[in-house]
Structure 1
Amino acid sequence: MRYLKEILLSVFFSGTFIIYSQQKLPVYLDVTKPIEQRVENALSLMTTREKVDLCHAQSKFSSKGVPRLGIPELWMDDGPMGIREEVYWDEWNGAHWTNDSCTAFPALTCLAATFNPKMAYLYGKSIGEEARYRNKSVLLGPGVNIYRTPLGGRNFEFMGEDPFLASQMVVPYIRGVQSNGVAACVKHFALNNQETWRGDVDVNVSDRALHEIYLPAFKAAVTKGKAWAIMGSYNQFRGEHCCENNLLLNKILKGRWKFDGVVISDWGGVHNTTQAVNNGLDIEMGTYTNGLTTNSSFSYSDYYLANPYLKGLKGEKYSISGLNDKARRILRLIFRTAMNTHRPWGSFATAAHAEADRKIADEGIVLLKDEDHILPIVSSSIKTIAVIGENATHRMTIGGGSSSLKVKQEIVPLEGLQARFGNEYTLLYSIGYSSEVKNSAEADSLRQAAINVAKKADIVLFIGGLNKDPHQDCEGTDRLSYGLPYGQDQLIDSLEKVNKHVVVVLVSGNAVAMPWANDVQAIVQAWYLGSQAGNAIADILSGDVNPSGKLPFTFPVKLSDCGAHSFGAIAYPGIDKKEVYKEGILVGYRWYDTKHIRPLFPFGFGLSYTTFAYSKPEASRHEYALNDTIHVRFRLTNSGKRAGAETAQLYVSKPQSKVMRAEKELKAFQKVFLQPGETKAVILSVPVKSLAYYDEAKNGWIVEPGAYNLLLASSSSDIKGEASVVVK
């Protein structure tokens, strides 16, 4: 009954009304039939124009169905941190609905920092429920592009610098989303690692770096997560735009990985009909969108995959078999989503989703420094707390480009701190700096007012960082410098001079320079935390929650320490819109460790209010064959006085390799929750095949025989023990 109701609604709004008796349902409407049989039946009944109509947008966020056959359209929505408000048919502006205020979930950097795949599933399931409730078929996320430079404007939308970490986190996210009958559209495929010239920068990277660093998370999304959709990226790769790139879309994605889903363009990412038709694109979105409002020469019917495609088919320039492949994939997606009678109804902006947001945020916040155990704030000597910084009151769910949200609730940090500490302490607030102030005299006045407040307090909580404005963690623009904006460094120095108890809470999706790191007592990396941001920050600062987050990317001391910035402009942002990734496979901690450059904070680093002790790691045996799995056993003990969680990490190094390798690479991790004094036996498993490198001469993966060192660690720079094995 529910299914028939949705079909009737879809055909009603499409202007067509068809009724089939239950006894005479066409195969494509018969949900008892296998999807592939239904797809082929529907395909056989469609005209060439109807098939072409599936392949391009009909509005800002939808593509056509087949009204004549009762096959509904596809509705897509920006993610992956919340379900975007409804917009007008052909405008970016909000449609002013009163029932589309969503839950904002943490940025994906925060999710990656949990190092907990269970949190990734919770995230995907929760956001998928919100998408389903709003009747969306495709969630445009998650993003798994690799963090290559701290200047990347959309780094906050991705899962860090390590391909293994991103691979482990993206799979449960996808499964959670798709359990709701909503497709996860993993983006941006591929090499979308900057916003500068993003529309046409031509990236050149070695095959080895491509396969070892930039593709593994996408491969995991397809082969393990079974993602139903992939979004192409704006940039070019080796002279072809990625939304119409034969190597990426045809040979790798649909060929080697056997992807059976739909390739969707990024909005405006298509440039040529022939390349789009032949090189693997299925649905074109957002090209010169003007649609029905004027008689523009670039209306929806004039998209590259619309009338020009139809004309080419009639002239036999393009094959019907190629069109059928696109239509077949799109129909499969529709049957998996919009015509899936088994999908749940979803739920929207619920208390359960707020709790999920808070739980993920709690696990993702990273404690970077805690000198003299100033945190958590429990000391009886503290009477007055100064809260300073614009980010204490700045709403972070808006701005940033396509991740901007209309939310039901956003608890900013000051509100969360007042709710948690207001009855115990006196809280004084001063903005200290402002992103809106351009006048130096006014900026000085704000700074001095904050200094005066800091003098009166027993402890200062400086809440700053970036803010999703242009050039500060924002789609369309990269950052212009590594330092904090709006005079924050100078302000922190001034605060430290009048109060020795300064805690810096950084709200950002990127690493930042910290010239004051040695002077302040504590540093907390708080990310963009969504609707419950203030409560989550208060959870950590109060000690109600013991911090357990680990950095998903390295914080260099200075920008020039970063591999992408070590070879001049040709490596970033490119010269004349051409760019070469000269650091190759040495991205993130691989670069710092191999080049022996000491970072400010290493990948995988994060402190706790308790302590942990590791026993010596032991491999299950000494020698292994190609199809074996190495099991590393050790005991982990909470040696402190608080319950907490530690993420044990296993890195692998290959001494005396015949090819250049990174000093070490993450191959396994596990987050372990322990009560005070508790010990658990832990096993980290590494398939021998995962030790392979990509051989460019053979166009394939090679496991090099010989000795390997297994490094048990609490971060990429803190090795707790080592075991050696031999691969025969």
Structure 2
Amino acid sequence: MRNRLSDYPSNYEDLDKHPSRAADQDLCFVFINSDGGEGYVAWKDVKGDRNDLYAQKGGDELVQKVAAKCGGPTIVVVHAVGPVILEKWIDLPGVKAVLYANLPGQESGNALASIIFGDINPSGRLPYTIAKNEDDYGPTSKILYRPNAVIPQQNFSEGLYVDYRYFDKHDIEPRYEFGFGLSYTTFHLSSLFIHPLATEYSTLPAKRPESITPPHLDVSIPDAREALWPSNFIALKKYIYPYIDSVDDIKTGKYPYPVGYEIAQPLSQAGGAEGGNPDLYTPLAVVQASLTNTGSLPGDCVVQLYISYPSTPIIDSLGNTVDFPVRVLRAFDKLFVTPEKRVEVSLQLTRKDLSFWDVGLQNWVLPMGDFEVQLGFSSRDIQQKGKISTEALF
């Protein structure tokens, strides 16, 4: 057996000068990237943050050239800090696979080799949507090259409609949807069952738990001269120190705090513990299903649970109709299944999973109505659907 490996550590090796090097290969790998930095390492007009959502440093052109000249399949490995538009080459006949590796670290080579050559069955899923066009992400997807005001402003008017929720709202077809991923085997979901859990009726979470009394601290103000620079102190350049230069300009008397500063504010009923009111995490329902490995290889499958809010209008405390996304991810789990075997999937829906934030009440509100429960393998690959009524929960 004859083995030949050609390594091109940069994009500047002209394949046109050595066409046989690519044509003689049984398999070609192309590594492209799109990263962000701190501003001190620049490439052309990329000073730090990405200027757009395309591959950097001629990556797209490199894939096109290698795919056209390689004697075998071309596999593209993407190292990126976020979504990258792949449309310039994704449909080329020579490109047979794309591995979205993100930032895998020092074991990148071993991990990629294990997946590509079948030692490990891949089970990763996209944590964002790969669009066909940069504009598909919405008006806020473009970088601001020039100030739009004396102090540049970016208004986050998209609300909840970020990534897959924006794509669903505007019925935009992505290249690869949120939650997408491939495996060397196949899976099937069946027998969806939704089990409501008995609890006391309330559209609002339980009363905030009592907080621990904070310790009493000495709030007396020390002599201002204690904050002066120490004698013979050598300060480092550009280092910020907690000292003052003089006490001559210190004013005495009551500090002019803004109006309302001394008015005691009630504790938020949405708080009370790490992550908010503990009752927000009370399970209200259990979603169960059967997951079968219908292929010939063992593998892991990521089962994703989405919900759609009631279709009947929901009015908040301010009299506004609440705008809900088409669907929202609420839980997921990765399960290992051997060929032709079946395992049970069990995922919980909590009070917070089914609630929305009411600005007027400053609390989470559980709306009344029928929720659609969706179980699948991505945001666009829903395998099982069911309904649960909040009225049946109480």
- TM class by shorter chain equals 0.5 to 0.7
Give the match for residue 632 of structure 1: 287
For 1:454 and 1:560, how far apart are their aligned partners in 2?
Answer: 35
Q: Does structure 2 conserve the Cα–Cα contact (< 8 Å) formed by 1:458 and 1:501?
A: yes
Q: Tell me which residue corresponds to 2:90.
A: 517
> C-alpha deviations, 1:262-282, integer Å up to 9, x for none?
xxxxxxxxxxxxxxxxxxxxx
Give the deviation of 1:490 after TM superposition.
1.6
Distance 1:567 1:522 in 2: 28
| Contact 1:712 1:721 (8 Å CA) reproduced | yes
Check if 1:507 corresponds to 2:85.
Answer: no
2:6 is the counterpart of 1:428: yes
In 1: Cα distance, 2:136 partner to 2:42 partner: 21
> In 2, Cα distance between the equivalents of 1:551 and 1:574?
33
Q: Counterpart in 2 of 1:702?
A: 365
1:431-442 aligned within 5 A: 431=9, 433=11
1:673 aligned partner, one-letter code: F
The one-letter code sitting in structure 2 at the alignment partner of 1:485 is Q
- Residues 1:664 and 2:327 are matched in the alignment: yes
When residues 471 and 550 of structure 1 are mapped into structure 2, their CA distance, relative to the original with a 3 A threshold, is: farther
Which residue is 1:693 aligned to? 356
Report the alpha carbon displacement of residue 597 of structure 1 after superposing the two structures with TM.
Answer: 1.0
Q: 2:58 aligns with which of 479, 482, 487?
A: 487
Q: Which moved more, 1:636-645 or 1:446-455?
A: 446-455
The match for 1:581 among 156, 162, 171 is 156
Taking the aligned partners of 1:547 and 1:525, their CA distance within structure 2 comes to 11
Q: 476, 483, 497: which one pairs with 2:68?
A: 497
* Structure 1 residues 400-426: Cα deviation after superposition (integer angstroms, max 9, x where no partner): xxxxxxxxxxxxxxxxxxxxxxxxx43
* Corresponding position of 1:462: 30
SS of match in other structure, 2:333:
strand
The alpha carbon displacement at 1:565 in A equals 2.5
The whole-number CA distance in structure 2 between the counterparts of 1:431 and 1:483 is 20
- Relative to structure 1, the CA distance from residue 481 to residue 706 in structure 2 (aligned partners, 3 Å threshold; closer, same or farther) is same
Mapped partners of 1:610, 1:693: distance in 2: 38
Distance in 2 between the 1:678 and 1:616 partners?
15
Q: Closer, same or farther in 2 for the Cα pair 1:498/1:581, shift >3 Å?
A: same
Evaluate the alpha carbon distance shift between residue 495 and residue 568 of structure 1 in structure 2; reply closer, same or farther with a 3 A threshold.
closer
Distance 1:573 1:664, change over 3 A: farther
Q: 1:481 is matched by which residue type in structure 2? A: D
Cα distance in 1 for partners of 2:116, 2:370 equals: 45
1-side partners of 2:364 and 2:19: how far apart? 58
CA distance in 2, matches of 1:539, 1:643: 15
- CA distance in 1 between partners of 2:152 and 2:178 (Å): 30
List structure 1 runs of 4+ shifted beyond 6 angstroms. Answer: none
The percentage of counterpart residues that share the same residue type is 28
Shift of 1:491: 2.0
SS at match of 1:591: helix
Please give the residue correspondences for 1:78-157 in structure 2 after superposition, counting only pairs within 5 Å.
Answer: none
**CA deviation vs aligned residue, 1:270-305 (integer Å, no higher than 9, x gap):** xxxxxxxxxxxxxxxxxxxxxxxxxxxxxxxxxxxx
Residues 633 and 681, structure 1, Cα contact 8 Å, conserved in 2: yes
Where does residue 339 of structure 2 map in the other structure?
676
Shift of 1:557: 1.6
Deviation, structure 1 residue 635: 0.5
Decide whether aligned partners of structure 1 residues 480 and 567 sit closer, same or farther in structure 2, where only a CA change above 3 A counts.
closer
1:497 Cα offset (Å): 2.0
Shift of 1:566: 6.3
2 CA distance for matches of 1:450 and 1:663?
52
Cα distance change on mapping 1:568 and 1:583 into 2, 3 Å: farther
Q: Which amino acid aligns with 1:489?
A: D
| 2:35–2:49 contact (8 Å) kept in structure 1 | no
8 Å contact 2:35–2:50 — kept in the other structure? no
Query: Closer, same or farther in 2 for the Cα pair 1:460/1:568, shift >3 Å?
Result: closer
Q: Greater share of strand residues, 1 or 2?
A: 2
For residue 530 of structure 1, what is the aligned residue in structure 2? Answer: 105
**What is the CA-CA distance between 1:477 and the residue it aligns to?**
2.7
Give, in whole Å, the separation in 1 of the partners of 2:132 and 2:126.
15
Counterparts of 2:290 and 2:360 in 1: how far apart (Å)? Answer: 42
Q: CA separation in 2, counterparts of 1:476 and 1:661?
A: 38
Question: What is the match of residue 169 of structure 2?
Answer: 594
Aligned pair count reads 293
Taking the aligned partners of 1:513 and 1:550, their CA distance within structure 2 comes to: 17
User: Which has more radius of gyration?
Assistant: 2
Alignment partner of 1:554 is 2:126: no
CA gap 1:614/1:606 in 2 versus in 1, 3 angstroms = same
User: What is the DSSP-based 3-state SS (H/G/I as helix, E as strand, rest coil) of the residue aligned with 1:516?
Assistant: coil
| Cα separation, partners in 2 of 1:620 and 1:450, compared to 1, 3 Å | farther
Paired residue type of 1:453 = R
Q: Alpha-carbon deviation of 1:619?
A: 0.7
Is residue 711 of structure 1 aligned with residue 374 of structure 2? yes
> What displacement does 1:476 show?
8.2
Unaligned runs of 5+ in 2: 203-281, 315-321
Q: Provide TM-score, normalisation by structure 1.
A: 0.38
The answer to whether the 8 Å contact 2:36/2:50 transfers is: no
Partner in structure 1 of residue 189 of structure 2: 614
More helix by share: 1
